[in-house]
Amino acid sequence: MLAGPNPGVEAATHSQPAWVVLAYLIAGVCFILALRRLSSPETSRRGNRLGMVGMAIAVVITLAVHDIASLLEISVAIAIGAVIGLTTARRIQMTAMPQLVAAFHSLVGLAAVLVGAAAFLNPDAFGILGDEGIHTVSRVEMALGVAIGAITFSGSVIAFLKLNGNMSGAPILLPGRHVLNIATLAGILGLVAYFTLDQSPWVFWTVTALSFVIGFLLIIPIGGADMPVVVSMLNSYSGWAAAAMGFTLGNSAMIITGALVGSSGAILSYIMCRAMNRSFISVIAGGFGGDAAASGGAAVINRPYRRGSAEDAAFLMKQAEQVIIVPGYGMAVAQAQHVLREMGDLLKKEGVRVKYAIHPVAGRMPGHMNVLLAEANVPYDEVFELEDINSEFAQTDVAFVIGANDVTNPAAKTDKSSPIFGMPILDVEKARTVLFVKRSMGGAGYAGVDNELFYRDNTMMLLADAKKMVEEIVKALA
């Protein structure tokens, strides 16, 4: 990424040859088409390839038209990054994908901070230096880019630590956190405005430091149940940080790419919030869900339940006409997706219709369950979203729930005091029989409330590690 001779998109565009602008436009079109194809599992591979092509075009053109460093230095940097990326991609487990995404977001944010710092320390090299110092517009772009990038970095680090188990997934509630957050954000905005008048180093570095702090403060109050929204929100932040740096660098490709990532992440965050009955504004403010989780953490019902075995489950599903499988985070933790697909294949050989029902916020990132099922080669036409399959549960013989707790809890529809009240859920309780795989009856879901579905007359609890239980069911079916 390299700066044009003048700040701003218009000046940078006029200073570039027409073929460069056209190449960046083609790269932007590739990114747009990639996002379109990534919206469906069936076309996601093509979407990834289009995104790679667009990024390759943008990188090659940038290197061709800007004298940023020697070819040897650039080649070494690309080689190091490629080795790290390939090694990570080959070694990472699909169940660890949420924390990997959070880690990637942190790198994008840190890159924005480093680029902004470089531009501040050497503005002449970036073409943003005027007679009275850094151009005023460039100061605003630079400060906002650094602020958003720092928030993205520190927030993503906390999200990674929570998802990876290095930090408790429970909300960490600081006293007076809302006042502290508002005061810190107000301080950042005030200093950004002051930076347009005074480009003293202390102003720039104070904005950077406060932004790192607010990213930390915004994410630590958020519990594990809300992580899918957090991941999509941080994705949006990383895009806006890149777009802001694109203005500072006068690079239209960065502006287009950042705007696409930022807007698509914001839209996804809004969709996820609706799926969880959360307020989008409270997501941005941070700490949403924290009070509810804290108040509902001990709500465990002590009632009798019906317990079954793998043989019972195999018999019921073999006699069924249709079985709907509902995967959740418990499946991801147990890495049971492959044996689950094997169970589905055996049921289909017995003439049973098998479908998979996915809740929008199941797992720890948007599309987490879709990714795991795709890894296990579950046919795309058997996987359905909540709104497409919810009406079928009433006509289904068996609903097989594997590790999905909060997204199947009827309390979301009946208990106004529940922290998940109002959240759309999968109507598994309407099935003739519900088979619920859970490690034990001792723990509540990530929202901190017990699932009353466990104690319904049509529910049979299968208490064991998810992978081990499904393996036993597969043996019984075979």
| Joined tokens for residue 105 | 């977001």
Cα angle 227, 388, 275 (rounded to 5 degrees) comes to: 25
339 & 275 share domain: no
94 & 28 share domain: yes
> How far lies 401's CA from each of 180, 364, 375, 443, in Å?
41, 17, 19, 16
Phi, psi of 132 (to 5 degrees): -110, 30
Q: Which of 293, 322, 344 represents a domain boundary (last residue)?
A: 293
370 & 270 share domain: no
With respect to residue 2, please indicate whether it lies within any of the assigned structural domains.
Answer: no
pLDDT computed for residue 125 by the predictor: 80
261 & 314 share domain: no
Beta-carbon-side half-sphere exposure of residue 33 (alpha carbons within 13 Å): 15
pLDDT computed for residue 316 by the predictor: 94
Q: Considering 406, 427, 450, 457, which one is annotated as catalytic? A: 406
214 & 264 share domain: yes
Output the domain CATH number for residue 320.
Answer: 3.40.50.1220
With respect to residue 4, please indicate whether it lies within any of the assigned structural domains.
Answer: no
Range of the domain at 370: 310-477
pLDDT computed for residue 337 by the predictor: 93
Q: Which of 293, 322, 354 represents a domain boundary (last residue)?
A: 293
* 286: CB partners within 8 A, 6+ apart: 177, 181, 217, 218, 219, 221, 222
Distance between CA atoms of 385 and 368, rounded to whole angstroms? 13
Question: Whole-model pTM?
Answer: 0.76
With respect to residue 1, please indicate whether it lies within any of the assigned structural domains.
Answer: no
Distance between CA atoms of 333 and 352, rounded to whole angstroms? 27
Count of domains forming the chain: 2
Q: Which of 229, 264, 293 represents a domain boundary (last residue)?
A: 293
Residue type, 391: S
342 & 203 share domain: no
On whether the CB atoms of residues 222 and 230 are closer than 8 A, the answer is yes
pLDDT computed for residue 330 by the predictor: 86
**Euclidean distance between the first and the last CA atom of the chain, given in angstroms as a whole number:** 57
Distance between CA atoms of 151 and 93, rounded to whole angstroms? 27
Let me know if 406 is a catalytic residue.
yes
On whether the CB atoms of residues 458 and 431 are closer than 8 A, the answer is yes
281 & 319 share domain: no
- pLDDT block averages, 10 residues each, the chain of length 478: 42 63 90 86 86 90 75 85 87 79 89 91 84 86 92 91 78 79 91 91 94 89 72 86 84 86 86 73 55 44 83 94 92 90 94 93 81 89 91 94 88 78 87 91 67 89 92 93
pLDDT computed for residue 285 by the predictor: 58
* 328: CB partners within 8 A, 6+ apart: 359, 362, 363, 369, 401, 402, 403, 404, 405, 407, 408
* 310: CB partners within 8 A, 6+ apart: 462, 469, 472, 473, 475, 476
318 & 272 share domain: no
3-state secondary structure string, 244-283? Answer: HHHHHHCCHHHHHHHHHHHHHHHHHHHHHHHHHCCCHHHH
395 & 281 share domain: no
Burial (0-12, 13-18, 19+ Cβ within 10 Å), 449: buried
52 & 135 share domain: yes
pLDDT computed for residue 444 by the predictor: 62
Distance between CA atoms of 249 and 115, rounded to whole angstroms? 9
With respect to residue 271, please indicate whether it lies within any of the assigned structural domains.
Answer: yes
